[in-house]
């Protein structure tokens, strides 16, 4: 069974699944979660076509702190730069980078590949972490209803249309668990 939470500030989702409890010797076992992290539909409206993934300074298997850079998605897109009444349109290339920061401290288990990121969608897992209960409790994650309320009044992203912003922000076009 999994549970999905959202981070309104960075427009990411975190899918939580129970993991074996950690702790050894004199240290008491703690509840732990395997957490997959990806971007919501709202975040994807600000990203063009991903052309490269830059992994952060932390390698899988190592501890990351809340707010640590996990990866950067380098992207490019085309945007109308000028147009006239005769429908003559000129296009401009727009480039950018979208950083993904860890919403909580934990152990980094894995990062997406360039191929996965190039097929970026609302269900693409960008990073997987192992997080214990205190790390999860310290995060700014909210349920889907709270997230949708937070983005309801937000303008569409750079490449979004007014209608897509409110069509569906949950994962895969259906309500998250």
Q: pLDDT of 95-105, one tens digit each? A: 999 999 999 99
User: Which pLDDT band, with edges at 50, 70 and 90, does 4 fall under?
Assistant: very high
Q: What is the pLDDT of residues 58-114, one digit of tens each?
A: 889 999 999 999 999 999 888 777 777 767 778 888 899 999 999 999 999 999 988
**Residues facing 9 on adjacent strands:** none
- What is the average pLDDT across 144-168? 72
| pTM assigned to the model | 0.78
Q: What is the pLDDT of residues 5-48, one digit of tens each?
A: 999 888 999 999 988 655 454 444 567 889 999 999 888 888 88
Contacts of 39 (CB under 8 A, 6+ apart): 11, 12, 13, 47, 98, 100, 120, 122, 124, 126
User: Which pLDDT band, with edges at 50, 70 and 90, does 161 fall under?
Assistant: low
Supply the pLDDT for residue 87.
72
Distance set, CA 153 to CA 149, 162, 165, 166 (Å): 8, 11, 10, 9
Supply the pLDDT for residue 22.
53
Residues 47, 172, 45: CA angle, nearest 5 degrees: 20
Supply the pLDDT for residue 163.
38
More confident residue, 66 or 133: 66
């Amino acid at each position: 069974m999994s549970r999905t939470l959202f981070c309104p500030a960075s427009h990411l989702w975190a899918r939580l699944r129970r993991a074996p409890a950690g702790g050894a010797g004199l240290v008491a076992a703690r509840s732990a979660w395997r957490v997959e992290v990806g971007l919501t539909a709202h975040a994807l409206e600000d990203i063009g076509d991903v052309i490269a993934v830059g992994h952060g300074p932390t390698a899988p298997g190592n501890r990351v702190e809340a707010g640590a850079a996990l990866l950067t998605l380098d992207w490019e897109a085309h945007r109308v730069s000028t147009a006239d009444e005769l429908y003559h349109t000129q296009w401009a290339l727009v480039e950018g980078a979208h950083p993904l920061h860890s919403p909580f401290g934990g152990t980094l288990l894995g990062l997406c590949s360039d191929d996965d990121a190039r097929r970026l969608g609302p269900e693409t897992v960008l990073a997987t972490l192992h997080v214990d209960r205190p790390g999860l409790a310290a995060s700014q994650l909210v349920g889907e209803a709270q997230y949708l309320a937070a983005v309801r009044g937000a303008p569409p992203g750079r490449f979004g249309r007014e209608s897509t912003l409110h069509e569906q922000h949950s994962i895969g076009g259906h309500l998250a668990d």
